[in-house]
Structure 1
Amino acid sequence: MKNILILFVFATVFCSCSTYQDALKSDDIKLKYEIADSLYQSGSYKKALKLYEQIVPLYRGRPQAERVMYAYSDIYYQLEDYYLAGYQFERFVKSYPQSTKREEAAFKSAESYYQLSPEYYLDQVDTYKAMDKLQEFINVYPESERQDEANLMVKELQTKLERKEFEIAKGYNTIGASRGTFPNAIKSFDNFISEYPGSVYREDAMFWKFDSAYQLAIGSRLDLMPARLEEAKEAYRILEKYYPSGKYTKEVTKMLEDINERLQVPVEEETIN
């Protein structure tokens, strides 16, 4: 009985492979489509793709073209080839504006571009494109059940862009002592706070602006130090206004005490740092 079962499985696999190979070589478009659709439905996407690549050009203008094009696009999506999935679903949406699959295709196109968004420290061209596509979906399908998911993806991408800008500003702070970039850091943090008022990095930006102003002040010539210490105190006041019991309270308290102590020392001579 066991041997019979093994032979049955072997014969089924052999016939299946034989049929697939025959379809690849055949000129019968209907046969190619039937085998391709069967493979697609069963999740054999790589095999299905080879057949769909052959039949897609042949089905243009035919009644089955819409179904063929959707499956073709979805195969790339299932194989996580998001460049081609995004592109093909985008073509599908434009080609079949009345399709019942249009909303799903539009979402999968936008999601494909979302999947292409790189790590925050890399070039963010694909992130901006993904945000545009997702926002377009949100605007076109306001009643879609996928709205929450699309909005979450937009928020995630926006946070990624914010982190990139924050890290650039923080980089100026990191090399400030050796490269003299504390003024760049202060300006960058100011721009960040202004451009992203609701950012999750807002408190961090305010703290590191204060830190940059403080570091700039204590590293200055004595004749410039009082004015710069006052500027640092102003940065502290803004931070304290919005985050009176924030996560940097310990560091802020220590820096503020040092500022106040230094402001009590009169300027006696000019030194160069």
Structure 2
Amino acid sequence: MFLPKIKKVLLLSGVFLILASCSEYQKVLKEAEPGEKYAMAEKLYTEALEEDSNSKFRKAIRLFEQIVPQYRGKPQGEKVTFLFADSYYHVGDNYLAGYQFERFVQAYPNSDRVEEAQFKSAKSYYYLSPRYDLDQTETVKAVAELQKYIDAYPNGEYLEEANNLAADLRVKLEKKAFEIAKQYHKIGDFGVRGENYKAAIVAFTNFINEYPGSPFREAAFYYRFDAAYQYAINSYEYLMKERLNTAREYYNNYKRFYSEGDEHFDAIQASFNDLESRLQNL
């Protein structure tokens, strides 16, 4: 009988403490002077870091929102602005975290924490990057921000991670460009005779020139050849010889870089053998 009573008392005590804490927070939020708000915001931020508590970060954010403008230009302004941005970063509000860290870097370029702020700003934009098949405006911005950090801090604390993140985003941009070119190849002869294959050849040529180190490069060489081959064999007979010879050049380009062990070698070789047979018959 005694133990349940103790548990009940402890539970009620905990409830009262939570209610009192909430009441104190609401009072400071609505009525306190900037100094009190600053003290509570910093306390909540510190506790949130220790406890990994999103709710405390969000409480701190509400206080920081009120006091950041009032501390701008004052000695505490640098710290308040950084903690404000970092609170957004920890709750995963990547748009506002990136924006607030950018503002911090602009306002306090000589701060001891400017490198961290610049990296976290770039990383926040990294997290805003969508799937490769969607609009890549955010991805382009994230790459630019990461590159800005890499250029500014060639020996920086976060250099390796920044390089890895930038490389990941570049592959996403490459995949987007590759899939656009591949789409022209896929729809092939639909529409105006051969025009989609012609567009695919141009798109894959641009891709090869623009992304020399891409993991999709071998496939791009293959699909460029195949687009030229399909374009040729679906042509009027009087155009076929010239177009088959162009496809042969793309085959030679593929062979210059890729050997029998590569992914598309068997397919390209079969098409090339047919191409040679057609040229002999012509």
- C-alpha separation in 1, matches of 2:66 and 2:163: 37
Counterparts of 1:101-180 in structure 2, within 5 Å, are 101-179=113-191, 180=194
- C-alpha separation in 2, matches of 1:257 and 1:139: 49
- Deviation, 1:27, is 3.2
Counterparts of 1:67-86 in structure 2, within 5 Å, are 67-86=79-98
Tell me if structure 2 keeps the 8 A contact 1:116–1:127.
Answer: yes
- C-alpha separation in 2, matches of 1:248 and 1:28: 70
Instruction: Provide the aligned length of Structure 1 versus Structure 2.
Output: 266
1:200 aligns with 2:215: yes
Identity %: 47
- 1:5-33 CA-partner distances (Å, limit 9, x unpaired): 21221122111111111111213222212
Tell me if structure 2 keeps the 8 A contact 1:217–1:229.
Answer: yes
- Deviation, 1:186, is 0.7
Q: Identify the range of structure 1 (45-54 vs 207-216) with the bigger mean alpha-carbon deviation.
A: 45-54
1:8 alignment counterpart: 13
Structure 2: which 5+ runs fail to align? 1-5, 49-55
Q: Residue 122 of structure 2 aligns to which amino acid in structure 1?
A: A
- Deviation, 1:209, is 0.3
Give the TM-score normalised by the residue count of structure 1: 0.93
Q: Which residue of 253, 268, 271 corresponds with 1:252?
A: 268
2:40 alignment counterpart: 35
Q: Which residue of 202, 210, 231 corresponds with 1:187?
A: 202
- C-alpha separation in 1, matches of 2:122 and 2:154: 15
Q: Residue 173 of structure 1 aligns to which amino acid in structure 2?
A: H
- Deviation, 1:37, is 1.5
Partner SS state of residue 72, structure 1: helix
- Deviation, 1:99, is 1.4
- C-alpha separation in 2, matches of 1:124 and 1:165: 11
Deviating 4+ runs (over 6 angstroms): none
Quote the RMSD (CA, aligned, Å): 1.4
- Deviation, 1:224, is 1.6
Q: Residue 138 of structure 2 aligns to which amino acid in structure 1?
A: D
1:26 aligns with 2:42: no
- Deviation, 1:200, is 1.1
- C-alpha separation in 2, matches of 1:145 and 1:31: 35
Tell me if structure 2 keeps the 8 A contact 1:26–1:32.
Answer: no
Structure 1: which 5+ runs fail to align? 267-273
1:232 aligns with 2:247: yes
Give the TM-score normalised by the residue count of structure 2: 0.90
- C-alpha separation in 2, matches of 1:262 and 1:192: 29
2:57 alignment counterpart: 45
- 1:28-74 CA-partner distances (Å, limit 9, x unpaired): 22221222122222221111111111111222222211111111111
2:105 alignment counterpart: 93
- C-alpha separation in 2, matches of 1:7 and 1:34: 28
